[in-house]
Amino acid sequence: MTEKHLTMLADAPLTGPERKRSLVAVIACISVVGMGLGVSIPLLALLMERNGVPASLIGLNTAMPALATFVLTPFIPALLRRIPAIPFLLSCIAISAIAMPAYYLFPNVWLWFPIRFVNGIAFTGLFVVSEFWINTLADEKNRGRLIGIYGTVLSCGFASGPVLLFLVGTEGAAPFAVIALLIAVAALPLLLFGRGLAPRVTERPTRSFASFFIAAPAATLAGLVYGATETNIFNMLPVYGVRIGMTEQTAAFVLSIFAAGNILCQVPIGLWADRTDRRFVLLVCATVGFLGVLAIPFVAHSIWLFAPTLFLFGGVVVGLYTVGLTLLGERFRGADLASANAAFVMMYSIGALIGPPLAGGAMDLWDPHGLIIAMSGLCGLYVAVAGWRYFTAPRQPRSPE
């Protein structure tokens, strides 16, 4: 399999104020992605659960954005050669804003499949172009800081989504209208701050990335496991919560606890990974994730036990994504690193695609604890892979940079 890589190239170096304006514009796009997904995933899952849709079908429906990512990503470079970045992003925002009331106007789960796929295409465009745009604003002195801001804002969007859902509720047109309005308003920073500052996009030579799955299985598989785990938490955990007796609002609100762990623990885990063997950090994160999933049935009936457990679980399991990318940066350089990152993102999308149907099918077989079996099984398999790599892979010296 081959992947086209994007390189964001500015026509001329940006001044300090222009860089700040450009950063505001791209952060607005990231906020849309985070908040839109953070609200829509639990909202749609809860509405399908309320209407008696089987958990397996809920899982398949929630996999549509991941399928859109898998299908669209190879075509984005060609699209951006024909459509400038700002109009492209504005089109994605418009499509996403229109999709939200469409869910309300067409309350049929089978119609939600194409709507959700199209909405996923819009989110994919926002995510991919924003990520590459922010990379053009970074240099080697501030790349970690800016990408850290990117990750934090994205996680904050996920966290604020369930809070917003808790405030506006799940009844009627209100949640759909509020989400659509917020997404539409997010276009303003692009128009006010991004015009004339958006970078161009060109292709780099294609490269097969199958070899990276063999060369760095612990790092690349970390993307798959985190993609499946994160998507299952935001999609299936609210359903699990309702089935064990939580209210819909509480079941959605606890997702913010998971997201808060994501927000607050990325930097400490990253600092730890810079000071020790990163494969060991992956093994610890995987082990804590495995134990955290197994603990859910024992603590979910008490919010005072469930909250800290979910916070710790969310904070540590995100290390799979953070440290997985960091380990690839340790192992590879230049074009190899770009290809390795592409493989990692593809694995994340595959995980997000297969995770919800797997969990939903497990819940249909054992209601509701099949979710725990599916998630712990995946985490347990990754513990074995991470442990095998930690104990058998040759140690490589760290780059002095």
- Tokens representing residue 9 in the block: 């190239």
CATH code at position 369: 1.20.1250.20
Of 170, 202, 234, the position where a domain reaches its end is 202
pLDDT, residue 20, reads 80
Q: How far apart are CA 302 and CA 217, in angstroms?
A: 38
Do residues 72 and 121 lie in contact, with contact meaning Cβ atoms separated by under 8 Å?
yes
pTM of the model: 0.69
Of 175, 202, 229, the position where a domain reaches its end is 202
Shared domain check, 234 and 156: no
pLDDT, residue 344, reads 75
pLDDT, residue 210, reads 66
User: pLDDT tens digits, residue range 36-75?
Assistant: 777 887 888 888 988 888 888 887 888 788 788 778 776 7
Number of structural domains in the chain: 2
Shared domain check, 93 and 227: no
Shared domain check, 372 and 238: yes
Q: Is 146 helix (H, G, I), strand (E, B) or coil?
A: helix
User: pLDDT tens digits, residue range 160-218?
Assistant: 777 788 788 888 888 899 888 888 888 888 888 777 777 665 655 345 556 767 778 88
Shared domain check, 336 and 216: yes
Residue with tokens 């598989």: 221
Beta bridge partner(s), residue 208: 2
Shared domain check, 227 and 185: no
- Tokens representing residue 96 in the block: 């996403």
Residue 401 lies in a domain: no
* Sequence-ordered list of residues with C-beta below 8 angstroms from that of 36, at least 6 positions apart, any chain: 96, 123, 157, 161, 179, 183
Which structural domain range is residue 22 located in?
A: 1-202
Say how many C-beta atoms besides its own lie within 10 A of residue 178's C-beta: 16
pLDDT, residue 115, reads 95
pLDDT, residue 9, reads 45
Residue 57 lies in a domain: yes
Residue 52 lies in a domain: yes
Residue 68 lies in a domain: yes
Residue 350 lies in a domain: yes
Do residues 197 and 23 lie in contact, with contact meaning Cβ atoms separated by under 8 Å?
no
Shared domain check, 297 and 228: yes
Shared domain check, 289 and 222: yes
Residue 263 lies in a domain: yes
Q: What is the 3-state secondary structure (H, E, C) of 73-133?
A: HHHHHHHHHHCCHHHHHHHHHHHHHHHHHHHHHCCCHHHHHHHHHHHHHHHHHHHHHHHHH
pLDDT, residue 139, reads 59
Shared domain check, 360 and 248: yes
Beta bridge partner(s), residue 202: 7
Shared domain check, 132 and 58: yes
Shared domain check, 276 and 251: yes
Of 202, 224, 251, the position where a domain reaches its end is 202
Do residues 278 and 398 lie in contact, with contact meaning Cβ atoms separated by under 8 Å?
no
Shared domain check, 227 and 247: yes
Specify burial of residue 131 (Cβ count, 10 A radius: 0-12, 13-18, 19+): buried
Q: In which element (H, E) is residue 203 found?
A: strand 200-208
Residue 339 lies in a domain: yes
Residue 292 lies in a domain: yes
Shared domain check, 214 and 159: no
In sequence order, what DSSP letters do the residues of 322-373 get, joined into one string? HHHHHHHHHH--HHHHHHHHHHHHHHHHHHHHHHHHHHHHHHHHSTTTHHHH
Give pLDDT < 70 ranges for the chain: 1-14, 74, 77, 131-132, 135-136, 138-148, 199-210, 212, 329, 332-342, 394-401
